[in-house]
Chains A and B, each alone.
Chain A
């Protein structure tokens, strides 16, 4: 954790529109967002479904170019994807033809790390996500939660300065999801990685986030910014927890209601 004042990741008046292929109309998805992600912190972004959360994260990751505005990583403007911003997708995106170990060494080899060292480093990260002993399995042999942990290990192994996660636990069953949330908090406390976590679940945002950013419905603007000072591990029955959740839910419900009126 570098304690200096500069944000790890910064978005300045960032907007993004898509041209709809069929109609030719432009669809505004992100509208003038200013976001500062502080280093070493766990930042959650919540918003109603379809508001542009994935788009926002993809712009941060460099997979999508902003229509206007800029993204800075450690003060430098971002152009295109790169190993300094690790991404974890909802769909896991593991390479099915590679074993667990070779999924994790993929990015290491690209960094020019020699095979032996890459192997050792991959084993360390697989240990970090609790998957020691699974090195030689293929992705199809893993459960959803295990797949996502491999994906996290693969991303962490290249040691990005920011970890970007797009609803990584959304396709897991409720029980596994809770387990993975606890796992992520624990992992984050051990590694100190800067994390940006996108979700449409208020509960998940309050359980994980130190900084919580609430987005409006599309085009997404920031309508809520708050700090969650509850210590970890958090208990969902804690009155402060439920209070915070209620507050964010209230704004989300308002956003949804407005949508219905239109």
Chain B
């Protein structure tokens, strides 16, 4: 079974090469070989010329980390409070449920007036994309904590603050990490879209893809897509590995 993990992408690549090579996918679709060359050129020459791939990656990652970091910082304590106190939950849940379905990109016009073009506008959109999955998973994690654990802590002398920090937070950690995994994934997708409309010069994978399209360099477009996919995959793996270490007790 395991060999299919390697074999199936290879078959897809071969088919793609064949069909695109024969021109059956339309004139603009590059072949895998062209995409590989595109990645190479992006790395050494850069696109727009001088703006090399590592710079694009660093810019996009930086925005995601800023937005995702802020989202975690706010969402986890808020989720713990909402999970712990029905009053908090009742007060904030309707707000969360109404704001949540608004796509982060819809905030862009406002974000631009608040933060201007660049880093902070994109980071804000990522913040919005990552925030809600983290809140919701934290809330459900806290709500499903075994009440006996809280009672045991109380009989051992724990007050409310201790219960929150030493019982509810660690007990909900598996759910919190799940929320973070979903959040960083959504944040990564959001950054690309945010850069397509919110970045007008410089670095960023989304910005690079859109600029490449404007000059019909579809090899760069697909090269950018491949890089985005691989980085998203690696981030997920990284969090999974961290999760395994942090949740050794499970």
User: A and B, one complex?
Assistant: yes
Write the residues of chain A forming the contact surface with B, with a CB cutoff of 8 angstroms.
61-63, 80-83, 85-87, 89, 91, 93-98, 106-107, 110-111, 138-140, 151, 154-155, 158
B170:A95 contact, CB within 8 angstroms: yes
Contacts of A139 in B (CB 8 A): 249
3 nearest A-B residue pairs (beta carbon): A107-B156, A83-B157, A93-B152
Known contacts A97-B170, A97-B249; A110 and B152 CB within 8 A of each other: no
Kindly provide the distance from the CB of A113 to the nearest chain B CB, expressed in whole angstroms.
11
A-B contact pairs, 22 of them (CB 8 A): A80-B154, A82-B155, A83-B155, A85-B155, A86-B155, A86-B156, A87-B151, A89-B151, A93-B146, A93-B148, A93-B151, A96-B249, A96-B250, A97-B173, A107-B157, A110-B162, A138-B248, A138-B249, A139-B249, A140-B249, A140-B250, A158-B156
A95:B167 contact, CB within 8 angstroms: yes
A83:B250 contact, CB within 8 angstroms: no
- Whether B149 is near chain A, meaning CB under 8 Å from some CB there, is yes
The size of the chain B interface, using a CB distance under 8 A, is: 21
Known: A87-B155, A93-B146, A107-B157; 16 extra A-B contacts, CB below 8 A, are A81-B151, A82-B157, A86-B155, A87-B151, A89-B148, A89-B151, A93-B149, A97-B170, A97-B171, A106-B153, A110-B157, A138-B248, A138-B249, A140-B250, A158-B156, A158-B157
Write the residues of chain B forming the contact surface with A, with a CB cutoff of 8 angstroms.
146, 148-149, 151-158, 162, 166-167, 170-171, 173, 247-250
Contact partner of B155 (CB less than 8 A), chosen from A61, A94, A95, A97, is A61
Kindly provide the distance from the CB of A202 to the nearest chain B CB, expressed in whole angstroms.
26
Kindly provide the distance from the CB of B248 to the nearest chain A CB, expressed in whole angstroms.
8
B250:A81 contact, CB within 8 angstroms: no
B170:A63 contact, CB within 8 angstroms: no
Kindly provide the distance from the CB of B86 to the nearest chain A CB, expressed in whole angstroms.
14
Contact partner of B156 (CB less than 8 A), chosen from A80, A96, A154, is A154
A96 to B167, CA, bound (A): 10
A32 to B250, CA, bound (A): 45
Known contacts A96-B249, A97-B173; A106 and B166 CB within 8 A of each other: yes
Known contacts A96-B249, A106-B166, A140-B249; A91 and B157 CB within 8 A of each other: no
Kindly provide the distance from the CB of B211 to the nearest chain A CB, expressed in whole angstroms.
48
A91:B151 contact, CB within 8 angstroms: no
Contacts of B151 in A (CB 8 A): 63, 81, 87, 89, 93
A83:B156 contact, CB within 8 angstroms: yes
Contacts of B247 in A (CB 8 A): 97
Contacts of A89 in B (CB 8 A): 148, 151-152
B157:A95 contact, CB within 8 angstroms: no
CB-nearest residue of chain A to B153: A106
A93 to B167, CA, bound (A): 11
Contacts of B162 in A (CB 8 A): 110
A62 to B157, CA, bound (A): 12
Kindly provide the distance from the CB of B91 to the nearest chain A CB, expressed in whole angstroms.
22
Contacts of A110 in B (CB 8 A): 156-158, 162
B148:A63 contact, CB within 8 angstroms: no
Most A-side CB within 10 Å, residue of B153, B167, B249: B249
B152:A87 contact, CB within 8 angstroms: yes
CB-nearest residue of chain A to B171: A97
A140 to B151, CA, bound (A): 20
Kindly provide the distance from the CB of A102 to the nearest chain B CB, expressed in whole angstroms.
10
CB-nearest residue of chain B to A85: B155
Contacts of A63 in B (CB 8 A): 151, 154-155
Contacts of B154 in A (CB 8 A): 63, 80-81
Kindly provide the distance from the CB of A103 to the nearest chain B CB, expressed in whole angstroms.
9
A80 to B166, CA, bound (A): 19
CB-nearest residue of chain B to A111: B157
Contacts of A87 in B (CB 8 A): 151-152, 155
A92 to B156, CA, bound (A): 14
Known contacts A106-B166, A110-B162, A138-B249; A95 and B149 CB within 8 A of each other: yes
Contacts of A91 in B (CB 8 A): 146, 148
Contacts of B156 in A (CB 8 A): 83, 86, 106-107, 110, 154-155, 158
